[in-house]
Structure 1
Amino acid sequence: MPISHQDKLNLLKDILNNHQMDCCGSVSECEQLKRLVKSLMVHPSLDEHAQSILEEIYKYSQHGINSVHLDNHIESHQNELTQWVSDINQFT
């Protein structure tokens, strides 16, 4: 059974929140973020602002996957992580 659009947004927020609060994460979490964002970007009611945020999160996850020091990558994006979670709350 596929998960709903809202469930995907909640999962996205949960992972981003964990990265923001713990200042660490895993490559598999970044891969999951990437998959979630790709599936959310095809939603028909997605506005331009939401699309832009998802593109930023996609780039963040892609760089995290390829990062030698993932925890440093996460730490350097603390402000963005907080903003993304806040933004996602606006369109959920």
Structure 2
Amino acid sequence: MPLSHGDQVTLLKDILNNHQTDCCGSVSECEQLERLVKSLMVNTQIDGNVKNILQEVYQYSQNGTQSSDLDQHILSNQENLSQWVNDIDQFS
């Protein structure tokens, strides 16, 4: 059963929150973020402001999957992670 738009947004925020809180994550979480963003980007119900945020999250996740030190990548994006979650909450 596919995830609803709301479930996808919730999962996206959960992963971002976990990265922000734990200061660590996995390549598979970054890959999941990429899949979620791709799915949400084609959804016509998504606010244009959220699409801009999703582009940034996608870039973050791509850089994370290619990083030789994923935990450092997450640590260096702490401010972005909390901002993205706040912005998504504001627009969705």
Shift of 1:45: 2.1
Counterpart of 1:23? 23
Once residues 21 and 44 of structure 1 are traced to their aligned partners in structure 2, the CA distance between those partners, rounded to angstroms, is 31
Once residues 7 and 31 of structure 2 are traced to their aligned partners in structure 1, the CA distance between those partners, rounded to angstroms, is 17
What 5-or-longer segments of structure 2 have no aligned partner? none
| Segments ≥4 residues shifted beyond 4 Å | none
Once residues 85 and 51 of structure 1 are traced to their aligned partners in structure 2, the CA distance between those partners, rounded to angstroms, is 13
Identity of aligned residues (%): 64
Residue identity in the other structure for 1:6: G
Counterpart of 2:43? 43
Counterpart of 1:63? 63
Please tell me whether the aligned partners of residues 19 and 81 of structure 2 are also in contact (alpha carbons under 8 angstroms): yes
RMSD of aligned Cα (Å): 0.7
In the alignment of these two chains, the number of paired residues is: 92
Counterpart of 2:53 in 1: which secondary structure? helix
Residue identity in the other structure for 2:62: Q
TM-score by length of 2: 0.97
